[in-house]
Amino acid sequence: MTTVNPDQNVNPGQLAESILNGGAATEADALTLLATPDEELFGLVHAGSRLRREHFGMTIKLNYLVNLKSGMCPESCTYCSQSLGSKAEILKYSWLSTDEAMEQASMGIGGGASRVCLVASGRGPSRRDVGRVGEIVERLKDENPEVEVCACLGILKEGQAEALKEAGADAYNHNINTAESFHDNIVKTHTYEDRTNTVEHAKAAGLSPCSGLIVGLGESDEQIVEALFALKALGSESIPINFLVPFDGTPLEGQWNLTPMQCMKIVATARFVCPDREIRLAGGREIHLKSLQPMALQLANSIFLGDYLTAEGQAAADDLAMIRDNGFTILGQEDEEARTEESVGCCGAEAGCCSDSKTTAEAATHTDPVIRRRGAGTAEVANA
């Protein structure tokens, strides 16, 4: 790993302006952004949000995971609850049937997802596995031609990416997970090159490359920057940022290395390094970003809806409320939401019937006030 010194003179606003005018962030710039003092975080987010809005407006892309095969993976990834030697008490099952997979995918699509991610544990798929997933892809595309399908099956062999593309898959996910200089600290059963080669195979077959990272593994700021620039060079069009979920029973249990503010700086830095790429808030966002999730949407333009592979996520209804309450629209539903606002007044009748400018969506999801019956003047314990 090449040593990079931070540029102490970086101004996020000026850097954003430079990027909007055709410039690019350097590794030194990125290292400085990661080291932004907490009291200057809002300025960093504001600058990064200009890049986000330039390329993605105020849309949020919803992605939905379908875990086709869970657990029992022979790889030694220390961060993973499905890996060899993990004692985490997760769901373990063999392949879902095509009908079962379709049922699960349909739920995500019904919730607004414009991309379905078909995932299976393991080092990589057999020829039979690719055929099995190909059948699911074909069904999904036949019934939902507007929905993107991304496969994530591990390390690919020759011809497998082409078979998935022929079945109708749009994208392939294989995360590099971390910097090359840190990779051997988290897994011994495959190499960093195995991962980058798979991304290249997917690209060569015409699949959109999706590759991201996991933060909180014990890597340094320099290694986060190294990974981000590697993803940029690799041409990853969608970059999921996962925040380590240190399951009990895994080698990394108890490793809580991240703070919400630090996570925000990582997401912001990713936006500066890859201004025109999809930045996705992925696993662990709820437990690490916490109350800063809405602010992170000013930088990221994509999230997973609902649950993850082995961990539960935030309630889908809460995700949708978070998107709506912060002024964003779901990708693919912009016209529908605009029509709703134009055609219906706040009372549910025709537009113009009342002076209140609130939309039906806002009015329908309001929270009724609750009369206080605790604390002062009562015998009930106060809310403190």
73 is in an annotated binding site: yes
Q: What is the mean pLDDT of residues 81-89?
A: 88
Least confident of 86-95, 146-155, 222-231, 268-277: 86-95
77 is in an annotated binding site: yes
H/E element, 243: strand 238-243
Domain contains 46: no
Please give the Cα distance from 216 to 106 (Å, whole number).
Answer: 33
SS3 329: strand
Helices (H), 308-364: 316-325, 334-343, 360-364
- The answer to whether 152 is a known ligand-binding residue is no
Quote the distance between the C-alpha of residue 167 and its chain's center.
Answer: 25
Does 176 reside within a domain? yes
Q: Cα–Cα distance between 355 and 37 in angstroms, integer?
A: 44
* Percentage, residues of the chain above pLDDT 70: 90
Burial of 4-23, coded b for 16+ CB within 10 Å and e otherwise, reads bebbeebebeebbeebeeee
pTM flag (> 0.85): yes
User: Per the domain annotation, does 8 fall within a domain?
Assistant: no
CA distance 158 to 85: 29
347: annotated binding-site residue?
no
Mean pLDDT, residues 125-133 taken together:
97
Tell me the residue ranges of DSSP E strands in 244-345.
278-281, 302-304, 329-330
Q: Which of 118, 121, 63, 117 is nearest to 279 (CA)?
A: 63
Q: Find out whether 210 is annotated in a ligand binding site.
A: yes
What pLDDT band is residue 375 in, cutting at 50, 70 and 90? Answer: confident
Per residue in 207-219, pLDDT (tens digit) is: 999 999 999 999 9
The packing angle between helices 160-167 and 127-143, to 10°, is 20
Question: Residue 71 falls within a domain, yes or no?
Answer: yes
CATH code, domain with 138? 3.20.20.70
150 is in an annotated binding site: yes
Of the ranges 170-179, 338-347, 354-363, which is most confident? 170-179
pLDDT band at 85 (very low <50, low <70, confident <90, very high): confident
Amino acid occupying residue 357 = S
Report d(CA 197, CA 278) in Å as an integer: 21
148 vs 333, higher pLDDT? 148
User: Which residue would you say has higher pLDDT here, 38 or 378?
Assistant: 38
Residue 349 maps to a domain:
no
Is residue 280 part of an annotated ligand binding site?
A: yes
Cβ–Cβ under 8 Å, residues 323 and 73: no
**Could you report how far apart the first and last alpha carbons of the chain are, in Å?**
50
Q: Give the tokens for residue 107.
A: 């739920």
CB atoms within 10 A of CB 347: 12
How many distinct structural domains can be found in the chain?
1
Find the domain containing 244 and state its range.
Answer: 53-332
In the structure, what pLDDT confidence band is assigned to residue 2 with cuts at 50, 70 and 90? low
Q: DSSP characters for 85-130?
A: T-------B-PPPHHHHHHHHHHHHHTT-SEEEEEE-SSS--HHHH
Burial of 127 from C-beta contacts in 10 A (0-12 / 13-18 / 19+): exposed
What is the chain's length? 384
Domain assignment present for residue 338? The answer is: no
Residue type, 196: T
Nearest to 275 by CA among 43, 50, 45, 26: 50
- Is 97 inside a domain boundary? yes
Identify the DSSP state of 318: H
Identify whether 240 is part of a domain. Answer: yes
Q: Is the pLDDT assigned to residue 169 strictly greater than 90?
A: yes
